[in-house]
Amino acid sequence: MSIRTRFFQLVLVFCLVAGGWLGGNPTQQTGPGEARGYQPDLTEIANQLAAQGESLNRAIVRTESRVFSPTSQERGMETPSLQKGDGFKQIIYWEKNKFLAIETHDLDGKPLYLYFEEKGVVRSGPINSRGKDFSQMDLLHPGLAFLENRPEGFFRRLAKWGIFPTDVRLERAPNRLLTFRLFDQDDGALWLDNETLAPQKLEVNALGDESPLHIVVLLNDPLRIGLSRQPEQNAVFPGKVSVLFNGRLIKQTVVTGIDDQVKANDMPYERLKEAASRLPEENPAQ
């Protein structure tokens, strides 16, 4: 064998090995659930998500939520029963770097609650005496984090759900697909599709009224929102959100309509701001 032939064989071997390191075989298992491959850091993922939200200027999103009885699931019912009177509808008004407002109505369309956020200041509360209080988990759709066009906005929205990610890991989901898991030191985590960065699941532990709660939020039916003609350059918003407390389905929210081409003049900003001026300002620590 000539020296020249041997040299090219060594080069070929090196390229094959390097190819495995650089993405030729990114799914080698390194531990339970973990996979080897290209793994961006938190900042890079947040920047990519922000870039997806860049084409979106404003949006109006309509949702409907159904609330389920946890006791029906304790009795072993395959299909949980609805808690009558607890379902609600929402209209989310979002304008980039300006304001967020959420009107909550009962299923018959009667107003119940208003949330208004502008320049870091939040005002919220029941609209009238017939209104009722809502938790942040009920008010703030997890998809709002993915509309932000700044990394700090993405992390701020995640913090509303009690998740403060400090690291990211490439993992293989139970369905064998690869995901990025963004996690913190208190077992809070967000799972994203490793290719599209579409949100898949949230998990967080919280203190319930009587015992600890393990909260799982399943994020399904991703929708693309934005003005780019290339779908992958638009933000991803989950079309269906299922909330489980300790394995029991508590609430399910579906998107019933989206307008991502709404003009500034069609946003009811002045009406919402005037209504919010009569509501108490939220404590920043909340």
Asked whether the predicted pLDDT for residue 1 surpasses 60, the reply is: no
pLDDT at 4 over 80: no
Cα 82 to the chain's mean position, in Å? 24
212 alpha-carbon distance from chain centroid: 23
Burial label, 190 (beta-carbon count in 10 A; 0-12, 13-18, 19+): buried
Q: What is the mean pLDDT of residues 52-70?
A: 92
- Asked if pLDDT for residue 106 goes beyond 60, the answer is yes
pLDDT higher than threshold 90 for residue 34: no
How many angstroms separate the CA atoms of 186 and 164, rounded?
A: 9
The predicted pLDDT at position 165 comes to: 94
pLDDT tens figures, 124-162: 999 877 767 888 888 999 999 999 989 999 999 999 999
- Entry pTM: 0.82
Q: What is the CATH number of domain 40-276?
A: 2.50.20
Q: Give whole-number Cα distances, 249 to 67, 106, 158, 161, 246, in Å.
A: 9, 20, 21, 18, 9
Residue 283, pLDDT score: 67
pLDDT at 95 (0 to 100): 96
pLDDT at 23 over 90: no
The confidence band for 35, taking pLDDT boundaries of 50, 70 and 90, is low
Question: Mean of the pLDDT values across residues 161-184?
Answer: 89
Res 37: pLDDT: 56
pLDDT at position 33, please? 54
Per-residue pLDDT at 85 exceeds 60:
yes
Q: Band of the pLDDT at 181, cuts 50, 70, 90? A: very high
Burial of residue 282 (CB within 10 Å: 0-12, 13-18, 19+) is middle
> Stretch 240-256: mean pLDDT, rounded?
94
Q: Residue 284: what pLDDT?
A: 55
Output the average pLDDT for the chain.
Answer: 83
The full set of domain ranges for the chain reads 40-276
